[in-house]
Chain A
Amino acid sequence: MVRDLSVNLSGLHLDNPVIPASGTFGFGWEFKDFYDINILGSFSFKGTTLEPRFGNDTPRIAECPEGMLNAVGLQNPGIEAVISQELPRLKTFFHKPVIANISGFSIEEYAKCCEMIDKEEQVGLIEVNVSCPNVRHGGMSFGTDPAMAAAVTKAVKAVTTKPVYIKLSPNVTDIVSIAKACEEAGADGISLINTLLGMRIDIRTGKPILANVMGGFSGPAIFPVALRMVYQVAHAVSVPVIGMGGVSTARDVLEMMMAGATAVQVGAANLRDPYACKEIIEQLPLEMERLGIEKLSDIIGGYKK
Chain B
Amino acid sequence: MYKKGIYTILYQQKLARDVYVMKLFGDTSFITAPGQFVNILLEGRYLRRPISICDWNENTITLIYKVVGEGTRQMSTMEPGVKLDLLTGLGNGFDVSRCGQRVLLVGGGVGVPPLYGLAKALLAAGKTPVMIMGFQSKEDVFYQKEFEELGCPVYVATADGSAGVKGFVTHAIAQAKLTYDDYCACGPIPMLKALYDACPTTGQLSFEERMGCGFGACMGCSCKTKYGSKRICKDGPVLTKEEIIW
Q: Chain A residues near B3 (CB, 8 Å)?
A: 34
Least CB distance, A75 to chain B, in whole angstroms:
5
- For chain A, which range describes its interface: under 10, 10 to 19, 20 to 34, or 35 or more residues? 35 or more
Q: Report if A68 contacts B (CB, 8 A).
A: yes
Is there an interface contact between A60 and B2, defined as CB atoms closer than 8 Å? no
Partner of B4, one of A30, A75, A274: A274
Given contacts A61-B210, A61-B211, contact A26 B46 (CB under 8 A): no
Number of A-B contacts (CB under 8 A): 93
Q: Report if A72 contacts B (CB, 8 A).
A: yes
Contact with A along B14-38 (1 / 0, CB 8 A): 0000000000000000000000000
Interface residues of B in 28-73 (CB under 8 A from A): 41, 45-48
Is there an interface contact between A55 and B4, defined as CB atoms closer than 8 Å? no
Q: Given the complex of chains A and B, what is the CA–CA distance between A109 and B48 in angstroms? A: 37
Least CB distance, B112 to chain A, in whole angstroms:
23
Is there an interface contact between A25 and B217, defined as CB atoms closer than 8 Å? yes
Is there an interface contact between B218 and A70, defined as CB atoms closer than 8 Å? yes
Q: Chain A residues near B217 (CB, 8 Å)?
A: 24-26, 30-31, 270-271, 274
Partner of A68, one of B212, B219, B234: B212
Partner of B47, one of A30, A72, A272, A274: A272
Interface residues of B in 1-17 (CB under 8 A from A): 1-4
Least CB distance, B50 to chain A, in whole angstroms:
11
Given contacts A26-B217, A34-B4, contact A70 B222 (CB under 8 A): no
Given contacts A31-B217, A59-B209, contact A272 B222 (CB under 8 A): no
Is there an interface contact between A30 and B234, defined as CB atoms closer than 8 Å? yes
Q: Given the complex of chains A and B, what is the CA–CA distance between A209 and B47 in angstroms? A: 15
Partner of A66, one of B4, B46, B211, B215: B46
Q: Report if A260 contacts B (CB, 8 A).
A: no
Is there an interface contact between A274 and B209, defined as CB atoms closer than 8 Å? no
Secondary structure class of chain A's binding surface, majority of residues: loop
Given contacts A30-B234, A31-B217, A34-B4, contact A271 B210 (CB under 8 A): no
Q: Chain A residues near B209 (CB, 8 Å)?
A: 58-59
Size of B's binding interface in residues, CB under 8 A: 27
Q: Report if B220 contacts A (CB, 8 A).
A: yes
Name B44's closest neighbour in chain A (CB-CB): A65
Q: Report if B101 contacts A (CB, 8 A).
A: no
Q: Report if A62 contacts B (CB, 8 A).
A: yes
Is there an interface contact between A59 and B210, defined as CB atoms closer than 8 Å? yes
Q: Given the complex of chains A and B, what is the CA–CA distance between A72 and B210 in angstroms? A: 12
Q: Given the complex of chains A and B, what is the CA–CA distance between A59 and B211 in angstroms? A: 8
Is there an interface contact between A58 and B210, defined as CB atoms closer than 8 Å? yes
Q: Chain B residues near A34 (CB, 8 Å)?
A: 2-4
Q: Chain A residues near B74 (CB, 8 Å)?
A: none
Given contacts A219-B46, A273-B41, contact A30 B222 (CB under 8 A): no
Is there an interface contact between A272 and B48, defined as CB atoms closer than 8 Å? yes
Is there an interface contact between A75 and B229, defined as CB atoms closer than 8 Å? yes
Q: Report if B187 contacts A (CB, 8 A).
A: no
Q: Given the complex of chains A and B, what is the CA–CA distance between A70 and B46 in angstroms? A: 13
Chain A residues near B (Cβ < 8 Å): 23-26, 29-31, 33-34, 46, 54-55, 58-68, 70, 72, 75, 209, 219-220, 268, 270-275
Give 18 new A-B contacts, CB below 8 A, not counting A63-B47, A272-B47. A24-B213, A26-B219, A30-B217, A30-B234, A54-B229, A58-B220, A58-B223, A60-B210, A60-B220, A61-B210, A61-B218, A61-B220, A67-B46, A68-B46, A70-B220, A75-B229, A271-B212, A274-B87
Chain B residues near A (Cβ < 8 Å): 1-4, 41, 45-48, 87, 209-213, 215-224, 229, 234
Q: What are 22 A-to-B residue pairs whose CB atoms are below 8 Å?
A: A24-B213, A30-B215, A30-B217, A31-B217, A34-B3, A46-B219, A54-B224, A55-B219, A58-B222, A59-B209, A60-B212, A61-B220, A61-B221, A62-B210, A68-B46, A75-B229, A268-B46, A270-B213, A272-B48, A272-B213, A273-B41, A275-B4
